[in-house]
């Protein structure tokens, strides 16, 4: 079986494995990022990433740091697979004339990859954010004693039910609601568009991210090649992925803040809703200032650096190619 026949499935496998490994390693930091970005001025529960993680463990337990991880682990395989495979597809298409890719064509390839991935990214992030941010809402609104006659205020009825059932005491671990329940509620009340709320903001974040990341990685990785016909060593691919991922993450962080705010269905008692991207940007600027757009930037850089470093190592090692080369299907294929 030729490499051409297995290249796309292999890239999908590599992207999927990289996504699962990466998310498992960095998910607590991603949770801290979401909670920090959703904080409003004067309503700050967490002072920093470490403060957020410590308070999360104290109030929700160790596994509270992985709230929302299940939906991410389920959907990150197709999401990362689409992103990485689409970029390779567009790069191959633009290089058909046998000439090397210009930076502009590398950026176009990244743009195409970013546009393809939002099919999975938008509903994945929509569900993940509700689960990640629920603990912040509870921490913000919690009083010394909260009984069944004094319920938490929440704007989303499904999430509100999950935290307001029965008698709750201060710092009690909230009963989590599942991603499946949230998805069913959104589909019932809003249809498929409910899962794709914030699609425009997701495109606004993911397309520029891919435009920055893929050309930057390709050029950084090229610096580590011993010669034109040899690939760079795996550690160089890892470092290049880390550098490109963290750089792109910081560049598009303002878009990520807007996306996170728009996709948060459950608001605190004094938190306002946004009607769209323009309304969100103008209200953040007016009430919180330009610095608010960089909330969680450090966390996001720490998330994306190892995530894409691991992804590039998986490509370098060729786990997908190894699996397919040694599978019964590949032996029987022409």
Domains with residue ranges and CATH for the chain: 3-135+196-325 (1.50.40.10)
| Residues contacting residue 164 through CB under 8 Å, at least 6 positions apart | 148, 151, 152, 154
Q: What pLDDT score does 159 carry?
A: 53
Structure-model confidence comparison of residues 57 and 156, the more confident one? 57
Is the pLDDT confidence value at 173 over 70?
Answer: no
Higher pLDDT, 202 or 42: 202
pLDDT at site 270: 64
What would the mean pLDDT of 295-304 be, rounded to a whole number?
92
Q: In this predicted structure, what is the pLDDT of residue 269?
A: 62
Q: For residues 50 and 58, give the distance between their C-alpha atoms in angstroms, rounded to a whole number.
A: 12
| pLDDT, mean over the chain | 80
Alpha helix ranges (H) inside the chain: 3-38, 49-60, 69-94, 103-141, 157-164, 179-190, 192-195, 199-223, 234-251, 253-263, 277-288, 297-317, 319-325, 328-332
Residue 166 pLDDT > 50, yes or no?
no
Calculate mean pLDDT across residues 199-228.
Answer: 90
Is the pLDDT reported for residue 167 higher than 60? no
Closest CA to 15 of 117, 101, 119: 117
pLDDT (0 to 100) of residue 87: 86
On the question of pLDDT at 316 being above 80, the answer is: no
Higher pLDDT, 135 or 35: 35
Is the pLDDT confidence value at 308 over 50?
A: yes
Residue 218 pLDDT greater than 70, yes or no: yes
The pLDDT score that the predictor gives to residue 172 is 43
């Amino acid at each position: 079986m030729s490499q051409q026949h297995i290249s796309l499935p292999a890239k999908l496998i590599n992207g999927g494995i990289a996504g699962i490994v990466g998310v498992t390693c960095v998910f607590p930091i991603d949770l801290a990022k979401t909670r920090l970005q959703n904080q409003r001025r004067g309503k700050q529960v967490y002072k920093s990433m470490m403060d957020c993680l410590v308070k999360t463990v104290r109030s929700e337990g160790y596994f509270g740091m992985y709230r929302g991880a299940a939906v991410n682990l389920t959907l990150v395989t197709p999401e990362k697979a689409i992103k990485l495979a689409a970029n390779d597809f567009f790069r191959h298409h633009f290089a058909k004339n046998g000439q090397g890719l210009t930076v502009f064509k590398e950026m176009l390839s990244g743009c195409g990859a970013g546009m393809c991935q939002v099919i999975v990214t938008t509903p994945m992030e929509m569900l993940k954010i509700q689960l990640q941010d629920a603990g912040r809402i509870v921490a913000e609104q919690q009083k010394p004693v909260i009984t069944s006659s004094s319920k938490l205020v929440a704007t989303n009825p499904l999430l509100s039910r999950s935290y307001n059932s029965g008698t709750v005491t201060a710092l009690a671990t909230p009963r989590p609601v599942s991603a499946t329940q949230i998805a069913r509620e959104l589909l019932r009340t809003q249809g498929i568009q409910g899962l794709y709320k914030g699609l425009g903001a997701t495109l606004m974040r993911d397309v520029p991210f891919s435009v920055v990341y893929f050309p930057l990685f390709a050029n950084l990785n090229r610096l580590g090649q011993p010669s034109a016909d040899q690939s760079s060593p795996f550690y160089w691919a890892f470092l290049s992925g880390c550098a490109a991922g963290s750089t792109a993450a910081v560049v598009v962080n303002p878009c990520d803040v807007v996306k996170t705010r728009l996709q948060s269905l459950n608001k605190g008692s004094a938190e306002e809703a946004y009607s769209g991207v323009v309304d969100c940007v103008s209200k953040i600027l007016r009430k919180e200032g330009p610095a608010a757009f960089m909330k969680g930037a450090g966390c996001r850089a720490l998330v994306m650096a190892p995530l894409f470093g691991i992804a590039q190592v998986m490509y370098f090692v060729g786990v997908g190619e190894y699996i397919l080369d040694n599978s019964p299907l590949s032996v029987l294929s022409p």
